[in-house]
Amino acid sequence: MKTLAYHLVNVFAETRFGGNPLAVFEDGRDLDDATLQAVAAQMNLSESVFLFPPHKADTDAHVRIFTPGYELPFAGHPTLGSAAIVRRLGRGGDQVHLSMAAGVFPVVAEGDCWQLSAKPPVAQPLMTNTHRLAGALGIAPNEVRAARLIDCGTEQLLVEVCCRDAVLNCRPDARLLDAYCRNRQGVAMAYVWHIEQGVATVRLFFTHHGQLVEDPGTGSACANLGGWLLLAGKHPLTLRVEQGHALKRPNVLHLQVSASGEIAVAGEVIWLGQGILQV
């Protein structure tokens, strides 16, 4: 039996019990893929991550990210939380380079606020019509402004809606989300957003075993929002991104898109504690 040490952090947190929880396991070596996935299912958080020794030159750690159901090539709050634990373990400092399936991501810190640099965006049109998309999200068709698949590390469906209330009033149907909101990898997911006076109100929905799940704070989708705005020529910009309202789990993300097109996502990481798991 193997003992796994892990840390629990809240990412994008402005208060101790806000943000998006994350389990960071110090050492994923000698565990097969099935065990890594089983541990993530046991933790039952949005994501759990496993740290490995560097796989590439000039990196501080290799990271594998798992939801309770599958592995991800990249995700935002696991990237920031992993960087914070790499520093806490003395394996890196305020500048950390993490390799993962989607590539190498630089992460920098000012105190406990961590910022990642995302990949340049790749966009794809969505083949679902507006009425089907609106039905999947539980809103009126005239509330949908535009929808695209964007990939700055993880491809996701982004849906711009007409107002903040349209974001907050979404009542997705898991069956229709599964049918009409899949990315090209087959993952059913929708990131609904509206920007008003420098603040983006957002929600992210996905399905797991046919059930609807809402994520409290999604850095990868925030990066993809930056990609959308970059491709639309709406940069440079700085946005406060608010998520988690309906879950009573406030998350605050900070999105920057520079004049030259670099996309950065930042947020506070609060360390809560640590433990061990026997597998």
What secondary structure letter does DSSP report for 24? E
Angstrom CA distances, 59 to 53, 105, 212, stand at 9, 9, 36
Establish whether 14 is a catalytic residue. no
From the list 47, 155, 242, 268, the catalytic residue is 47
Question: Which residue's entry shows tokens 């850095």?
Answer: 219
Instruction: For CA atoms 130, 148, 156, 15, give the dihedral sign.
Output: negative
Q: How many CB atoms lie within 10 A of CB 256?
A: 17
- Crossing angle of helices 76-88/219-231, nearest 10°? 120
Choose among 60, 63, 112: nearest CA to 91.
Answer: 60
Alpha helices by DSSP H, 122-263:
130-137, 164-168, 174-180, 219-231
Cis omega (within 30 of 0) for bond into 236: yes
Instruction: Please list the active-site residues.
Output: 47
